[in-house]
Amino acid sequence: MVAQGEPMVWLTGGSLVLGLVMIVGLLGLIFWQGGRTFWPKPITQLELATGDTVFGQVTQTDTYRPSAETMAAWPQDVRDRLASTADDRPVEIGRRLLRTGNFEESGTNFDWVDTTLVTNESQPAWAVVVERQSTGRLYGVPVHYTVDGVVLESEPARIWERFSKVHADVRARFHTARSIEKEDLGRINRMQESARLDLRWIEGRDSADPAAVAKAREDYARVVAEAKAEYDPLAARIDELRRVNSRYTMGFRLSDGSVVDLPIDDIVRAVQPNQLSFGEKLGVYASRWSEFLFDEPRKANSQGGVWPALFGTVVMTLIMTLLVVPFGVLAALYLHEYAKQGPLTSLVRIAVNNLAGVPSIVFGVFGLGFFCYIVGAGVDDLLFSKSLPQPTYGKGGILWASLTLALLTLPVVIVATEEALSAVPNSMREGSYACGATKWQTIWRIVLPRAQPGIMTGTILAIARGAGEVAPLMLVGAVKVAPDLPVDLGTFPYVFPDRSFMHLGFHIYDVGFQSQDSEAAKPMVYTTTLLLIGIVVSLNLMAIWIRARLRRRFRAAH
């Protein structure tokens, strides 16, 4: 057996199986937890022996051994019942974790409920989960619908009918006001800020020329007057939209019996999961996924969408790829085709290989010090002196983040490209030379085309590593909230490489470790992780498809 190597067969095969089980288990956990986040779960109402009522969605079940202090707070009949069934063994009881929401009213989003305290369990037909714009979820039963402070409906079915009719229009007005505020008023504010910077620059440059300063002040006053003339109607329009929306409110009775009135424009979505059919649940599920992919985040990133983070991740990865691949291929070409093989070339190769093992945070520190504080500060002094001391490029931005990750992944591209160049048979080079081609013609027409599949392999590895890095981005541009995207087709010059951006990896870190309620943020962490894995896999599959086409083409030509 030893001579035939059978122990090694079992060892290597077992190692492969163990690795596959770990990978499949990790991906299975992420897909299961992330895929079910948006599925509408039924709302359960639990009446307890303590006289309390708990209202929410069950998210987890567990068993535990209560302490003596915990049991001392229970009613006497519950303790007697447990004592009669314990048989001198440690008491172990079940419990359920309910997402109760209503954080502003109760101070918590989740409650553990011991099953031994439950005296009655039901699923109220008119129980509603409300996803709010500015705060978290609310669980309750609709009790009234009001317009201009007058209660028009107090029966749940009629309330829901009224709400369904007006909600779409109310949200449309809400989004219109937000769009005017962000785009039109933002453009006016940027115009005024640019005029202010021009005035300050002229006052500093031509302080000895009163005529130039006076003209600059007149120009600034004219810009301010024009901006005000454009600003006032827009502000009035926003006020009118919000005034109309403020007329509509809806009241909900919570589990503790209190009633909360919500403005309808604060309700992103209201769902009655206990009355939904399977098809209607699929509709809610698809709606929540659409919101997650294409909307902006809400409530400290723990709710809403991840569109800015998704957009920033894809744009940064593409910019990084466009920067790293040409330089990596050129460096590998020189090392393999032009450089004289000797101690110096070997030293460079050793340095490149060692660079691949440098911790990513070191690249982040380098990017912050070199790109932001040296190169960016120089660009500001040369081109954006009007804005100083407020930096334009002398701070973190998507350009510096992409360059930092390009340096991080450069060794991967160089090594993969060199291996691809080495795989091209020398007979092809010799045949090209024999036909009279120069060295560059041979490289361009013979070597590079046949090395393209290997170059694509290096590109795939660079994309996979760069898209998932977080530590460098925390220093050179990724932020918790980025109000403006780095690419904005509605604002000239459309591309803003100086802007900070959101990244899915940093978003996962922020939601998972910086949230005030980790339990409420856990579903969003799994779902965002699932999305990030999907993006990396999609980019890799696209590169693999291109590589396969190149291989087939050259195999057919051969």
For 8-49, what is each residue's pLDDT tens digit? 888 999 999 999 999 999 999 999 999 988 999 999 999 888
Contacts for 114 with CB less than 8 Å, ≥ 6 apart: 66, 93, 94, 95
**The two structure tokens encoding residue 516:** 């005030």
For 472-503, what is each residue's pLDDT tens digit? 998 898 888 887 888 887 777 778 888 899 99
Per-residue pLDDT of the chain (558 residues; tens, 9 = 90+): 677 778 888 899 999 999 999 999 999 999 999 998 899 999 999 988 888 888 889 888 888 888 878 888 888 887 777 776 655 566 778 889 888 888 777 777 888 888 888 889 899 989 999 999 888 888 999 999 999 989 998 899 999 999 999 999 999 999 999 999 988 898 899 888 888 888 888 877 767 678 888 888 888 899 899 999 999 999 999 999 999 999 999 999 988 888 999 999 999 999 999 999 999 999 999 999 999 999 888 877 778 889 999 999 989 999 999 999 999 999 999 998 888 888 888 898 888 888 888 889 999 999 999 999 999 999 988 888 888 888 889 898 999 999 999 999 999 999 999 999 998 888 998 999 999 999 999 999 989 888 888 888 888 888 888 888 888 998 898 888 887 888 887 777 778 888 899 999 899 988 888 777 777 788 889 999 999 998 888 878 887 888 788 777 766 555
C-alpha closest to that of 443 among 301, 321, 335, 553: 335
114 vs 460: CA distance, rounded Å: 51
Backbone angles phi, psi at 84, to 5 degrees: -75, -20
C-alpha closest to that of 475 among 345, 360, 321, 305: 360
120: left (phi over 0), alpha (psi -120 to 50) or beta: beta
Backbone angles phi, psi at 427, to 5 degrees: -60, -30
Query: How many residues would you count in the chain?
Result: 558
pLDDT at 495: 85
| Entry pTM | 0.86
C-alpha closest to that of 102 among 216, 244, 254: 254
CA–CA distances in Å: residue 195 to residues 221, 275, 354, 389: 9, 57, 50, 16
Q: Give the CATH class of 308-506.
A: mainly alpha
Q: Are 306 and 482 in contact (CB under 8 A)?
A: no
Q: Are 491 and 187 in contact (CB under 8 A)?
A: yes
Question: Parallel, antiparallel, or unpaired: how do β-strands 118-122 and 44-48 relate?
Answer: antiparallel
**The two structure tokens encoding residue 414:** 């160089």
Query: DSSP of 244-312, one letter per residue?
Result: HHTTEEEEEE-TTS-EEEEEGGGEEEEE-GGG--HHHHHHHHHHHHHHHHHS-EETTTTEE--HHHHHH
C-alpha closest to that of 509 among 544, 551, 474, 463: 474
